[in-house]
Amino acid sequence: MNKIEQAKKLLRKAIMLDDAELMAMANEILDEVAPTSAIEPSPKVEQAPAPAPVPEPVKESSKEPDFNSFKMKSDEDLARKNGVAVNKIKREIQFVDDGSDKDISTPEITLADRSRRKPFKKIEQICQKCGRTVQTHPSHKREWFVCDGCIRK
């Protein structure tokens, strides 16, 4: 790559970034390449140093969302954006059964036994407080059983 192309690339980048130092470098490269006798020296205008770009403050609320920037969409906005709701349109069923799938059949299989389990049998528990015998569900079997009447006391 020759120096003129390099200077052009630097100038393009300097214009994009608005960087005075890159522009100065590109001009220096062009001054080295161009013969001084062919080009009249132009009076150099001193440019004021470009003000340092002020960095935008970083939002410290990045941990918490800014709810002021959100806007609730109304039903009208959604209707305009998305069109008409599917359940509001009268549609016709376009499927036509031409009978091409009649050769498919369900195979014969034996069904699994779906009998219910046996009903539970109540068990006898003896209350530890009053000594009464009570018939209860097997899931309530305890070593230290107390009947309903004694629990309320």
User: Which bin fits 35, alpha (ψ -120 to 50), beta or left (φ > 0)?
Assistant: beta
H or E stretch covering 25: helix 20-33
H or E stretch covering 81: helix 75-82
C-alpha to C-alpha distance for 120 and 123, rounded to whole angstroms: 9
43 φ/ψ angles, rounded to the nearest 5 degrees? -65, 130
With a threshold of 0.85, does the pTM exceed it?
no
pLDDT tops 80 at residue 52: no
Domain ranges of the chain: 3-33, 123-152
| pLDDT value at residue 82 | 64
Q: How far is CA 73 from CA 64, 109, 144, in A?
A: 22, 55, 62
136 φ/ψ angles, rounded to the nearest 5 degrees? -135, 170
CB 23 within 8 A of CB 14: yes
H or E stretch covering 9: helix 3-17
Best mean pLDDT range from 54-58, 74-78, 100-104: 100-104
C-alpha to C-alpha distance for 141 and 90, rounded to whole angstroms: 61
**Tens of pLDDT, residues 122-142:** 999 999 999 999 999 999 899
% of the chain beyond a pLDDT of 90: 18
Residues 48-73 have a mean pLDDT of 65
- Give strand pairing partners of 126: 133
C-alpha to C-alpha distance for 65 and 3, rounded to whole angstroms: 51
Angle between helices 20-33 and 3-17 (to 10 degrees): 160
